[in-house]
Amino acid sequence: MAGAGVPVPDRFRYLPACLPFHSGYSIDNRRPGLIRRNAVYLTTIFASAFAFELAFDTASNKVWDSFNRGRQWKDIKHQYLNKADEEDDE
């Protein structure tokens, strides 16, 4: 029973004495990280997302091409273009 001697409405009156609020305390003083400005933080996030998108798209395209080798238009195009050229020559 914490605070059993103090009635319920009076607990809130004594709360600021237990947990003082520092008006000059900023979150930037607590955060010793590399990124201190919001613009740098957002630029880093967007640049990282763009780089991840490029890497992920490239990797997934290579996996897709390796699974579907010989079945895509870019792989069989030359067969049909040569047949069309031979038919035009006759």
Query: Taking the alpha carbons of 65, 67, 70, 71 in that order, is the dihedral positive or negative?
Result: negative
Residue numbers of the domain that contains 82: 8-89
**For residue 16, is pLDDT > 60?**
no
pLDDT tens-digit readout, 22-65: 555 555 555 556 677 899 999 999 999 999 999 999 999 999 99
| Number of domains, the chain | 1
Where does the pLDDT of residue 84 fall: very low under 50, low under 70, confident under 90, or very high at 90 and above?
confident
Q: How far apart are CA 50 and CA 52, in angstroms?
A: 5
Please give the mean pLDDT across all residues of the chain.
Answer: 78
Query: Residue 2: inside a domain, yes or no?
Result: no
